[in-house]
Every structure is written in C-alpha cells, then in structure tokens.
Amino acid sequence: MPLLVALITLLVVFPGSPSCAMFDKTPPDPPTNLSRVSHGSDNTPLFNWDEATDRSGIRSYSVMVDYADWVEVGNETAYTQDTPLPDGGHSIFVRATDKAGNRSGSATLSFVCDSTGPTISAFSSYMLEKKC
C-alpha cells in the first residue's frame, strides 16, 4: 500500500514527467542520410542528416570528426566543422541520444577536403607553335 501511495504522489506532484522515458531501454535508430552539403574545397565543411526515430523522442545529436572527442550539437540536424581540417581524407560520425539517455549507433561518412587549386603550367609561344 505505501508503494501505491508513493506512485500516486509522484504522478500528482510531477504530472508532466516523461514516464515513457523512464522505462525506455531501447536505443534510437541511427540518423540517416548523412551528407556533406558544402563543396570539397571547404575545409570547414557543413553536414546534415535526417532525424533519428525513437519512442521516447530524441534529446540530442553528437558528432565526432576523425576520431576526436564527441561534440554534442543539441537537437540540430546539421553541423559545421569549426576548426579547419587539413587537406586529405576524413570521417564524420553522428549518433542520437534519446530522452531516456540511450545512444544510437553511428551514421558514418568518409569525405575529402581539397583546398589546393590545380597546378597550371606555363607554356612558351614556341611550345604552342610546335604543338607539343
């Protein structure tokens, strides 16, 4: 009987509590359609993804670039790399955390930064005349 009274008191005192989140042990589905929005020459690239799904709702997303620390980005479905990346290959990982604290698996995307312009060779008029 005391347990029943405590439960009723909890529901009366905290009527808006996320009760389904208290019992949710299932992680959300990973975000989908992770893609790079900005051009390959941009070393501070912009990424976006579709929302993850979960029965208790999504609390936030976290992003990791090149195996650095996870960065929480709130409930946004876009991320811009704030520190310029060096030219070359990179990876980004995005995961969702639901309102119960369960984390999804990661969506992953490999991408390349290439801010170096093409090399242009100078030709002399002699080479052009001889069609070398």
In tens digits, what is the pLDDT along the chain, a chain of 132 residues? 555 444 444 443 344 445 555 588 899 999 999 999 998 889 999 999 999 999 889 999 999 999 999 999 999 999 999 999 999 999 999 999 999 999 999 999 999 999 887 777 765 566 556 655
The residues facing 95 across adjacent strands are 62
CB atoms within 10 A of CB 58: 19
